[in-house]
Amino acid sequence: MTKTATGQTIGYARTSTVDQIAGLEAQVTELTAAGVDRLFTEQVSSVAERAQLDAAMAYAREGDSFVVTKLDRLARSVSDLVAIADVLRAKGVALRILSPDIDTSTPMGQLMLNLLAAIAQFERQIMLERQREGIAKAKREGRYAGRQKTAQRHAAKVKELAAAGAKPANIAQELRISRSSVYRLLDRGTGS
């Protein structure tokens, strides 16, 4: 890996569990061999909060390179990878994935990442199309009622808190719904 004249090489290694010590050590060895200046490691599931990934991305500055050993050590999905790459790109940080060899500081690396992004978008569109077809079929068969509106699930609690003297702004904050939803639910309760 070629270092930029001004930037650092930041490495990120992750395993899903604390039992995967050998896997983490192998990543650290590979990243060290790739010449990382600063290494962030963690042992958490990809679906959990990844504090060290967040810290590594926050640490990265314009001109730096961000390096991981494999795609699955960085991202949960291709769309997650694209989102991470977009954040890094906006900061002026190149992303390098050692296996497969993708380096967004090169035209070929950009092409590979763009291909992955196009595939992710295609997969998302196919999934949404199937979802729409499933909903249409369920509606034809009378099995689809739709999703209950978020505020509606809190109607009883809104009325209970209002009866206890809570102000609409406080109710909205406590239940994490909008103030207008609180007023709407209270108006329905009074018959307006």
pLDDT digits (tens, 9 = 90+) for 34-49: 999 999 999 887 677 8
pLDDT of residue 191: 44
Which SS3 state, helix, strand or coil, does residue 165 take? coil
Using 50 as the pLDDT threshold, list the residues of the chain that sit under it.
Answer: 1-4, 191-192
pLDDT of residue 125: 83
Verify whether residue 99 is a known catalytic residue.
no
Catalytic residue among 16, 46, 77, 105: 16
Question: Considering the entire predicted model, what is its pTM?
Answer: 0.59
pLDDT of residue 189: 60
